[in-house]
Amino acid sequence: MIEKACRKILDKYYLEKGSVISILQDVQEAYGYIPEDTVFWFSEKLNIPASNFFGVATFYAQFYLKPRGKNIITACCGTACHVKGAEPMINRIRADLAIAEGEDTTYDSQFTLEKIACVGACSIAPVLIINKKIHGNMSPEKASRALKDFEKNK
Ligand code: FES
């Protein structure tokens, strides 16, 4: 499914060398993530190996190779958060959202749960971020409540 969006991006970068990052940024802006078939399409059109695109896309945390949910829940997994109970908190959120094993997004695409290294708020570990709102000193129960409050107020 290569749409108009990709042709427009191609026109923009056709003559530019070293445009892999810019292309990936534009593709992600157009689709919300980087569909695999767009990578192969650009690879063929620009004669750049697909592995170059995938290499960049997997190196930078800003790129997503799978569709993400409408709401993003970020769980800090840095050392302080880990020591103070990030894992049980994450397990509780996964269970509350019924996120399937091996997945990070709910079946209805409403939520994506992602793990991240230290967000710089270690004094209030463990930290959970729901759509950019920071919740500190979380326990599994507090995290579950924060999620319910969010769902109630969205
Ligand atoms: S380790 Fe979680 S905020 Fe630093």
Residue-level pLDDT at 101: 86
Measure 89 CA to ligand 1 centroid, in angstroms.
Answer: 14
pTM of this prediction? 0.79
Residues lining ligand 1, Cβ inside 6 A: 76, 78-81, 118-122, 125, 127
pLDDT category at 53 given cuts 50, 70, 90 is very high
Locate the ligand 1 atom nearest the alpha carbon of residue 119 and give its number: 3
Q: What is the pLDDT of residues 64-83, one digit of tens each?
A: 999 999 999 999 999 999 99
Which residue in 109, 141, 112, 153 sits closest to 129, CA to CA? 112
Query: CB–CB of 14/46 below 8 Å?
Result: yes
Asked if pLDDT for residue 13 goes beyond 90, the answer is no
Cα 105 to Cα 112: distance, rounded to the nearest angstrom: 4
Average predicted confidence (pLDDT) for the chain: 94
DSSP string, 102-154: T-SB-TTSSEEEEEES--S-GGG-S-EEETTEEE-S--HHHHHHHHHHHHHH-
Ramachandran assignment for 47, one of left (phi > 0), alpha (psi -120 to 50 degrees), beta (any other): left
Among 127, 137, 138, residue to substitute to test ligand 1 (most atoms within 8 Å of Cβ): 127
Asked if pLDDT for residue 1 goes beyond 70, the answer is no
Cα 135 to Cα 129: distance, rounded to the nearest angstrom: 6
Q: What is the pLDDT of residues 93-103, one digit of tens each?
A: 999 999 988 89
